[in-house]
C-alpha cells in the first residue's frame, strides 16, 4: 500500500540474540490479518519453528495494536499481546487484551506492531522514539517492581533531554518525555513465572497467558515508546458521523459504568463501601468515552488504577468464582487498606491477579480440608506458607506473593508455574483431592474459571451456575478465557429478538439447551476475535440493544430496541478506506481464528482436546444436572460444521481454508 490509513505502515521485528532490528512493511500482514490477534496468528504461523516451547528464545512475543488503535474510533485503546502461552497446559498460542495508552503511542511512533524474539545476553529494554529504535541495557531497572520501574525509566529518559524531535515540539502534554509509555515486567516475569503479567502504567496489564514470563525469558525488562506522528483516517468526515452515532447509542444504553465500580458489571457482590471512598477520578484507555476504571488513592500504599477482578482479588476467595460473594469464613470482611495493599503488591511484583484469585481460593479450600496439614505448623512445614489463618493480612500477601514472584522454596517455585502445573505435581504426594479442587476453579486451558457460582450457584450470572452452552463451546475450543473478550454472550439470554439479531436463531436465547448453540458459538467466538483484531472494547461492542436515555429534538424512539451490529464495519471502512460490510469483516475474522486453529493443529490439537475440566461432567449444576457428555459431543459436531472443520478430527478442511485465502496453510497441514 502506498498510503496507509488507520494502519501506519511498518512492523518492528527485534531479534534480541543478534540485536538486529528490522522494519517490515505492514503489507506483509495488513489488511488481510487486520491487526491485534490477526497479527499474532500470522507471525506465529510464519515464524515460530515447530517444536518451540513458550519459554524458548524462538517463541515470538507480539505486541499488537489493532487496526483502529490510535484513531478516534470509540474505545480503541484496548490492544493485544500474544505468543505461545506458558500458562497453557499445552503451550498453545494465546492472546491477552491490555488497555491503556501504549498501543496508540506505538502507532504514533509509526509502527503497527512489535515482534520480539531471541534472548538478550544481558537484561535490556527497548526504546522506540519514532524512527529511532534502540536496545539498551536494563541493568538499572532489573529487579525493580513493575510500577516504580516505569517511573524511574521515564524520569531517566526525560533527564537525557535527547528526544530527536523535541526542538520543534512544545515541552508539554504528550510531547514531554516524562509521559513516555512503557510496558514492563516485575520480578515474577524476570523469574520466568508462567503466571507473570506485563504491566502498563499503574494498573493495566496483559495478565492471562503468562506473557510476562515470556518477556523475562528473553531478558527483556521493558519497552518504552514515544511517538510524535499521527494515525490518519481516510474519510475523517464520515468517521466523525459514524462515531457520533455510536456515542449516542452508548449514551442511550445508559449503563451505569462509573469508576467506583470498575468494569461494566460493578463489583459483583463485593462490598465497595470502603474502596469507593478512595476513588479519585475516572480512568480510561486511549480513545474511550466511558473510562470504566477507577483511580484509587488508599492510605498506606501508592495510588493506582484498578478494575473489578483486581478489586476482588485480595478480598474474596469464595471458592470458585473470582468475583463471587465472600467465603462464609470471611463474610464480615470489608474492602479496606489491606485489600488495596494486596492489589498493588500483585501489580508491583507483576503477578496475574486473576490467577491469584484461583490460588488463594484453592489454598483456602486445601486448608479447610486439612490436605497440607491439620495445624498451621504442619501446613507451613509442607508448603512454606506461614499463618494460613492470616490469609487477607498484609503479612500473608508479602509472604505468598513474594514466594511466587521469586520462586522461593519448592512450593513458591511450583505456584510460579501456575496452579495447573502445581496441582498436577502435588496430587502425586497429597492425593487427587488437590486436583479436584483445582478443576473446580479452572475451566480449561489452565485458565481460572469465569462462569461464576458453580455448583452452589449464587448470583445473577449463568442461570445454571455453569457456563451456558455457548460459553462451554468457547472454553473448550479456544486457548484463553472466552469471557474476557466475549462478555456480550450473556446479553441475549431470554431475549429471542437479540439472539436472532446476532446469532441468526432464537433458540440460542435459551441457556438450558444446546439448540442453536453451535451456530451461536461459532459467531460469538469469531466476533470476539474481530473485537480483538480491529480494536473495539468488548465491554460495549457489539451494540446489541439501545435503551433511550433521553430523546433529542425530533427523535421518536421509545423503549428498548435492537442496536446496530454493523457500526464496526462502518468505522473500519471510513478509517481505512477499505470498504467492508460486517459480513466481510467477519470473514476476515474467520481467517484469523482458522489460522489460530491451524497453529494448534500443527502442535497436535485435535477434537479430543476440545473439552473442559471433568469436574463439570461429574458434578451437578444449580438445576441438578452435570454436563451431558452425549449431548456435548453432538453439539461439538455441529460447531465444527459451522466452522468448516472436519467433525471427526477438528481440523479445518481444505475447502474452508482455501475460501479464506489460506491455501498455503492447507498445504502445510496436508489436508
Ligand atoms: S470501557 Fe474500560 S476497558 Fe474498555 S476501552 Fe473504556 S476504559 Fe478501557
- CA 516–ligand 1 middle distance (angstroms): 31
Centre of ligand 1 from the C-alpha of residue 585, in Å: 22
Instruction: Return the HEC string of 117-185.
Output: ECCCCCCEEEEEECCEEEEEECCCCCCCCCCHHHHHHHHHHHHHCCCCCHHHCCCCHHHCHHHCEEEEC
pLDDT over 60 (residue 321):
no
| pLDDT tens-digit map of 195-247 | 999 999 998 999 999 999 999 999 999 999 998 889 999 999 999 999 998 98
* Cα 393 to ligand 1 centre (Å): 31
Grid coordinates of 440: 473446580
**Fold: same for 10-226 and 469-546+581-669:** no
**pLDDT tens digits for 77-106?**
999 999 999 999 999 999 999 999 999 999
Output the pLDDT for position 162: 64
Of ligand 1's atoms, which has the minimum distance to the CA of residue 287? Answer: 5
Neighbours of 244 (CB within 10 A): 11
How far is residue 311's CA from residue 484's CA, in Å, rounded to a whole number? 16
CB 580 within 8 A of CB 569: yes
As a whole number, mean pLDDT of residues 380-398 equals 94
- Which among 75, 71, 465 has a CA at the least distance from the CA of 257? 75
The atom number, within ligand 1, closest to the CA of 264 reads 1
pLDDT digits (tens, 9 = 90+) for 460-476: 456 666 778 898 999 99
Q: How many helices (H) and strands (E) does the chain have?
A: 24, 19
Q: Which residue has the least CA distance to atom 1 on ligand 1?
A: 292
Q: pTM of the prediction?
A: 0.94
Q: Which atom of ligand 1 is nearest to the CA of 540?
A: 1
In percent, the amount of the chain with pLDDT more than 90 equals 65
Atom of ligand 1 nearest to the CA of 291: 7
Domain boundaries, the chain: 10-226, 255-446, 469-546+581-669
Best CA proximity match to 311, nearest among 366, 270, 280: 270
Exposed e or buried b for every residue in 477-508, given b needs 16+ CB within 10 A? bbbbbbbbbbbbbbebbebeebbbbbbebbbb
- Output the nine-digit C-alpha cell for 483: 469471557
What is the CB < 6 Å shell around ligand 1? 75, 77-78, 99, 284-285, 288, 290-293, 537, 539
How many angstroms is it from 488 CA to the middle of ligand 1?
14
- Distance from the alpha carbon of residue 235 to the mean position of ligand 1, in angstroms: 25
Q: What CATH architecture applies to the domain 255-446?
A: Orthogonal Bundle (1.10)
Per-residue pLDDT of 653-666, as tens digits, reads 999 999 999 999 99
CA distances from 124 to 127, 221, 422, 518, 573 (A): 10, 6, 30, 47, 39
Task: Scan for cell 538499572, then name that residue.
Answer: 140
8 A C-beta contact, residue 599 and residue 41: yes
Cell of 658: 482455501
What is the topology classification, in CATH, of domain 10-226?
Aldehyde Ferredoxin Oxidoreductase;  A, domain 1 (3.60.9)
List helix spans (H) across 385-431: 394-405, 409-416, 419-430
Ligand 1 pocket mutation, candidates 101, 293, 535, criterion most atoms within 8 A of CB: 293
Ligand 1: centre distance to CA 440 (Å)? 30
β-bridge partners, 10:
25
Expressed in angstroms and rounded, the spacing between residue 210 Cα and the centre of ligand 1 is 22
3 state SS of 470: helix
Q: Tell me: pLDDT of 332 over 60.
A: yes
* CATH architecture, domain 469-546+581-669: Orthogonal Bundle (1.10)
Residue identified by cell 470504566 is 292
Alpha carbons 8 and 68: distance in angstroms, whole number: 10
Amino acid at each position: 500500500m502506498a498510503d496507509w490509513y488507520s494502519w501506519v505502515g511498518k512492523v518492528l521485528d527485534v531479534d534480541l540474540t543478534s540485536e538486529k532490528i528490522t522494519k517490515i512493511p505492514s503489507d506483509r500482514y495488513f489488511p488481510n490479518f487486520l491487526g491485534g490477534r490477526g497479527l499474532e496468528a500470522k507471525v506465529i504461523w510464519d515464524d515460530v519453528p515447530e517444536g518451540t516451547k513458550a519459554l524458548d528464545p524462538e517463541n515470538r512475543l507480539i505486541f499488537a495494536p489493532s487496526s483502529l488503535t490510535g484513531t478516534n474510533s470509540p474505545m480503541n485503546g484496548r490492544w493485544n499481546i500474544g505468543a505461545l502461552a506458558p500458562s497453557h497446559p499445552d503451550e498453545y498460542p494465546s492472546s491477552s487484551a491490555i488497555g491503556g495508552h501504549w498501543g496508540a503511542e506505538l502507532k504514533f511512533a509509526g509502527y503497527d506492531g512489535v515482534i520480539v524474539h531471541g534472548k538478550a545476553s544481558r537484561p535490556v529494554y527497548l526504546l522506540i522514539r519514532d524512527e529511532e529504535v534502540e536496545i539498551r541495557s536494563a541493568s538499572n531497572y532489573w529487579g525493580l517492581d513493575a510500577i516504580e520501574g516505569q517511573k524511574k525509566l521515564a524520569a531517566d529518559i526525560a533527564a537525557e533531554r535527547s528526544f530527536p524531535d523535541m526542538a520543534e515540539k512544545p515541552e508539554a502534554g504528550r510531547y514531554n518525555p516524562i509521559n513516555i509509555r512503557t510496558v514492563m515486567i516485575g520480578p515474577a516475569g524476570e523469574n520466568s513465572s508462567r503466571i507473570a503479567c506485563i504491566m502498563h502504567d499503574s494498573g493495566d496489564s496483559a495478565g492471562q497467558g503468562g506473557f510476562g514470563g515470556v518477556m523475562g525469558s528473553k531478558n527483556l525488562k521493558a519497552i518504552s515508546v514515544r511517538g510524535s506522528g499521527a494515525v490518519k483516517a481516510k474519510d475523517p468526515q464520515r468517521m466523525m458521523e459514524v462515531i457520533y452515532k455510536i456515542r449516542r447509542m452508548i449514551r442511550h444504553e445508559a449503563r451505569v459504568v462509573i469508576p467506583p465500580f470498575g468494569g461494566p458489571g460493578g463489583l459483583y457482590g463485593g462490598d465497595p463501601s470502603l474502596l469507593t471512598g478512595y476513588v479519585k477520578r475516572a480512568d480510561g484507555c486511549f480513545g474511550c468515552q466511558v473510562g470504566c476504571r477507577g483511580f484509587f488513592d488508599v492510605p498506606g500504599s501508592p495510588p493506582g488504577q484498578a478494575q473489578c477482578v483486581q478489586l476482588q482479588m485480595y478480598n474474596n476467595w469464595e471458592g470458585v468464582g473470582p468475583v463471587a460473594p465472600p467465603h462464609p469464613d470471611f463474610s464480615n470482611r470489608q474492602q479496606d487498606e489491606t485489600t488495596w495493599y494486596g492489589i498493588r503488591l500483585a501489580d508491583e511484583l507483576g503477578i496475574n491477579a486473576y490467577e491469584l484469585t484461583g490460588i488463594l481460593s484453592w489454598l483456602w479450600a486445601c486448608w479447610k480440608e486439612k490436605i497440607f496439614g491439620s495445624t498451621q505448623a504442619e501446613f507451613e512445614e509442607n508448603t512454606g506458607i506461614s499463618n494460613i489463618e492470616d490469609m487477607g493480612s498484609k503479612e500473608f500477601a508479602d509472604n505468598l506473593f513474594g514466594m511466587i514472584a521469586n520462586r522461593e522454596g519448592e512450593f513458591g517455585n511450583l505456584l510460579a508455574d501456575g496452579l495447573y502445573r502445581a496441582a498436577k505435581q502435588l496430587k502425586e504426594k497429597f492425593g487427587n483431592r488437590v486436583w479436584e479442587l483445582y478443576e473446580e476453579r479452572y475451566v480449561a486451558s489452565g485458565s481460572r474459571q469465569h462462569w461464576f457460582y458453580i455448583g452452589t450457584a449464587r448470583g445473577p450470572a449463568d442461570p445454571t451456575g455453569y457456563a451456558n452452552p455457548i460459553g462451554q463451546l468457547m472454553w473448550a475450543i479456544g486457548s484463553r478465557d472466552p469471557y474476557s473478550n466475549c462478555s456480550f454472550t450473556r446479553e441475549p439470554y431470554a431475549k429471542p429478538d437479540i439472539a436472532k439479531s446476532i446469532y441468526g436463531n432464537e433458540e440460542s436465547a435459551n441457556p438450558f439447551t444446546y439448540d442453536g448453540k453451535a451456530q451461536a458459538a461459532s459467531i460469538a467466538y469469531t466476533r470476539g476475535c474481530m473485537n480483538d483484531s480491529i480494536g473495539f472494547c468488548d465491554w460495549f461492542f457489539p451494540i446489541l440493544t439501545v435503551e433511550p436515555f433521553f430523546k433529542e429534538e425530533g427523535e421518536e424512539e421509545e423503549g428498548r430496541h435492537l442496536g446496530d451490529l454493523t457500526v464496526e464495519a462502518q468505522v473500519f471502512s471510513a478509517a481505512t478506506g477499505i470498504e467492508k460490510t460486517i459480513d466481510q469483516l467477519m470473514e476476515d475474522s474467520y481467517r484469523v481464528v482458522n489460522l489460530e486453529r491451524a497453529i494448534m493443529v500443527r502442535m497436535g490439537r485435535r477434537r479430543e482436546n476440545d473439552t473442559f475440566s471433568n469436574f463439570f461432567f461429574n458434578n451437578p449444576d444449580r438445576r441438578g444436572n452435570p454436563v451431558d457428555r452425549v449431548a456435548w459431543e453432538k453439539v461439538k459436531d455441529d460447531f465444527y460444521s459451522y466452522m468448516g472443520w472436519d467433525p471427526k478430527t477438528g481440523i479445518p478442511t481444505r475447502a474452508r481454508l482455501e475460501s479464506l485465502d489460506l491455501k498455503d496453510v492447507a498445504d502445510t497441514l496436508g489436508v
